[in-house]
Structure 1
Amino acid sequence: MMGLHITVREYARLTTAPVQQANLDYAQIPVTMFDWLCSLSTGYRTQHTLTLAVLEDRRTLFLDNYVGIIQSPCGAVLEILPKIHNEESNVQRSRMMLKEMITVALDIPVKEAGLTDLDQFQLPLNEWVAQQFLNHLSLLLKKGIRSDYRKEEHHEPFLRGQMNVSKQMRQLPGKDHLFYMRYAIFSPDRAENRLLVSALTLIIKHTQNLDIWRQAREQAIVLNEIPLSKKIAKDLQSWQEDRLMSHYKPIKPWCELILSSYMPLALFGKTHGISILFPMEKVFERYVEIMLRKSLLPTVKMKSQAQKHSLCLHNYRDFFQLRPDILLEDSSQCWVLDAKWKRLNSLDVNSKYGLSQADFYQLYAYGQKYMHGKGDMALIYPEHKDFNEPLPPFYYSSELRLWVLPFALEGKNKGKLLHGNATKLPLT
């Protein structure tokens, strides 16, 4: 039976009260899911700087800027999309954009991710990840599952392999007909295959798509001799990436997504189904970094999260480290760029376009410490219909200026920083 699927976007309100006209910013959820989200969010507030959701009143939750999908124990699925499009009819556009940004942020090659098929692929994020995993597993099975030698020790009534002489000499009376043996078995029971089977089992158990369930069941029959992974984190660390395992490389990120290792929140074991959540700010930062790297001038080097300078010294120690998202350097100068996931409005001058004063203070500190008060810096925000051109520059001084630039996530300029010809940024 298909479970309840609720689609909202960042910063939406979720309530248990009846909603006359649900939309992407306000939706009704079951009481069981509400209670579970409250409990889950409370647990993470003590472990993480970011919260999943904030309790607004007894019947309403206010979501933070996490995006992705999460399935509660009651079976209800909550899909959270980026808040970038205004129109309710743009759910599929937002979903497509999120899929592509996550794929790029995880360094999955476009060909392997099947991004060319996204226009026709209407499934939510969890089912999309499951389908990508199954497609790669199908190719892997055609190329062949790798086996390896596994050491075994048994007490058996026949000779096999090598006798364990020390244990045999301590054999108990009446057990003379048994032998302590050591031998190696050539078996597909290895870390990588156990992880594949664990991910496959999770898909079979929780997918709500009949075609995906059928394909997963067929593949599970082929791998029925391989056990589940009992220690997922340990097996992930044991994943081999040598020449003989090169055909396993494409499936690894999808396997990690399903088994939750890429999630910023340790939800594995606490949710049902394939639950995948990302802080949208981090996804955007990573996406901008990877795409900008492709358009740098040949002489320019990029560093992410540079840690060269701190704000001040105290008792000969650095205090308040300054870590710009992106630092560009060549032999003679550098440029500081910071990516912010926020919708600006280039027409709303009275509200300062939606810019944050704290961000400007932060960039000023970067400019003084990293650039010695000279040059061009940039704050990068997502492009949308109300912000599609660079704002006029902001001058800290006659020699230090800050640009506020849109970054295209869709259209003909997708993946490019719209910086115009006026900036001195080292980009093509």
Structure 2
Amino acid sequence: MITLITVREYARLTIDAVEPTLDRAQISASAFDWLCKQSESFSKAGAALVQVEGRHWLRLDSYVGVLETPCGTRLEILPKHFECGDCEVQSRALLRRMIQRSLNLKSRKVGPTALELYHAPLSEWVIGQFLAAFDHLIKRGMRFDYQRIEEEQRYLRGQLNVVAQMRQPPARQQFFQVRHDIFVADRAENRLLKLALERVCKATQEPTNWRLAHELRSLLHEVPASSLVREDFRAWGTDRLMAHYQPIKPWCELILNQQMPIAVAGEWQGISLLFPMEKLFERYFEAWLRRSLPPEAKLTSQASSEYLCEHNHGRMFRLEPDLLVRQGSQCWVLDTKWKRLNAADRDKKYGLSQSDFYQLFAYGQKYLQGHGELVLIYPRREAFQRALPPFDFGGGLRLWVLPFDLETERLLDADLLSLVIAQALSRV
């Protein structure tokens, strides 16, 4: 039996009885212990899943998505962005849109079912989209392939394996060693779909999803589930005959943790779709920017051509800005930060980080030669509606801090930037 608990980033979890809200919730002792154990593996990798506060409280970090424990507790973690209205519904819709745009997922609308799943938890939405794409694939037709079989038969079928036949002992001369081809659905793509479908069948709690998942599973009873996920994904065909498989591949990758989500270590194979919110916001803004810029502008993500310094005839400390835009002779460096700013709190520097400014200054010196415009992008909120006054580094190098409206998908006050990029971004 699955117990669904919906919270948001930085929520606090406890084993004590508390009134549930999006910022705190009660979980079972077994789920509490399991999260503590998982946090250790995250910490070794340089990340933090939860922070322990005493013996009875955990505080989630900046991850969003779905996390399922072996005891049946399914945590749905939403972005901490909305401050009024129905935050749960708004945050869930925002997270779905960000995942879809960031990973370039094609969503299939299936009439009333899509409306029913609109308010469903994130896991059911992902499952529903995967099943809709799978159902469409089955109707288009699954790809079969020839597979070479070498076996012993009482009759001659296909090609006689002469070498193996000559090695037959006299007592087995009545059997034929043959090789032949059979036309089967046992391909890398279908094995991956079978594995994803098996996980979906175990995880879904929504009746429509459960029924469709088991119907599709019965059609693949002869296909084995993949046991080598990475190798099978590398073998996924991209030729013209496999074009109708492409829409379902990202959903399959999402369920099997081959895209951005953080995979949970260990043998437990529950639904786990954890996204680092900082990275998700960066990918979402990048996808929007690619659609917004004119064709002649070149956008580079995670540029890596410059280093902070030279040492002993080599270079050290590579500089990797989130986004680098070039158009003609002009260049702009943009960096995204998932943080809540307060434009009225000048005393606390609006919530800006000094280390971020050092980082952007280094980008400006190396990528812009100390002259041009740097842009820091933060999500728009009630306390951060307009661009902050520019920060002047001297020598013609300026830093702008702009809000990005996640609901309307607009970069506010983009017209303050230099003419070329301002025209491109302001008309969106």
TM-score tier by shorter-chain length is over 0.9
The offset of 1:71, in angstroms, is: 0.8
Partner letter of residue 159 of structure 1?
A: L
Partner of 1:143: 140
Partner letter of residue 353 of structure 1?
A: Y
Partner of 2:3: 4
Instruction: State the percentage of identical aligned residues.
Output: 50
Partner of 1:44: 42
Partner of 1:23: 21
Partner letter of residue 16 of structure 2?
A: A
Show CA shifts across 1:315-346 (max 9, x none): 12211111100011123121110000111111
SS of the residue aligned with 2:411?
coil
Q: Does the CA-based 8 Å contact 1:364-1:396 persist in structure 2?
A: yes
Show CA shifts across 1:219-247 (max 9, x none): 11222222222222221111111100111
Q: Distance in 1 between matches of 2:105 and 2:58?
A: 34
Partner of 1:253: 250
Partner of 1:345: 342
Which runs of no fewer than 5 residues in structure 2 stay unpaired? none
Q: Does the CA-based 8 Å contact 2:145-2:186 persist in structure 1?
A: yes
Change (3 A) 1:118 1:373: farther
Q: Does 1:308 align with 2:302?
A: no
Change (3 A) 1:102 1:61: same
Partner letter of residue 10 of structure 2?
A: Y
Partner of 2:410: 416
Q: Distance in 2 between matches of 1:141 and 1:163?
A: 36
Q: Distance in 1 between matches of 2:11 and 2:363?
A: 33
The offset of 1:56, in angstroms, is: 2.3
Q: Distance in 1 between matches of 2:241 and 2:337?
A: 41
Report the number of matched residues.
421
Partner of 2:101: 104
The offset of 1:120, in angstroms, is: 6.3
Q: Distance in 1 between matches of 2:284 and 2:163?
A: 59
Which aligned pairs between 1:24-423 and structure 2 lie closer than 5 A?
Answer: 24-46=22-44, 48-87=45-84, 89-109=86-106, 121-267=118-264, 270-397=267-394, 399-410=396-407, 414-423=408-417
Q: Does the CA-based 8 Å contact 1:206-1:272 persist in structure 2?
A: no
Change (3 A) 1:231 1:61: same
SS of the residue aligned with 1:98?
helix
SS of the residue aligned with 2:66?
strand
Q: Does the CA-based 8 Å contact 1:96-1:118 persist in structure 2?
A: no
SS of the residue aligned with 2:325?
strand
Q: Distance in 2 between matches of 1:269 and 1:238?
A: 25
TM-score, normalised relative to structure 1 = 0.94
Which runs of no fewer than 5 residues in structure 1 stay unpaired? none
Q: Distance in 2 between matches of 1:222 and 1:169?
A: 41
Q: Does 1:14 align with 2:8?
A: no
Change (3 A) 1:197 1:269: farther
TM-score, normalised relative to structure 2 = 0.94
Report the RMSD for the aligned CA atoms in angstroms. Answer: 2.0
The offset of 1:176, in angstroms, is: 0.6
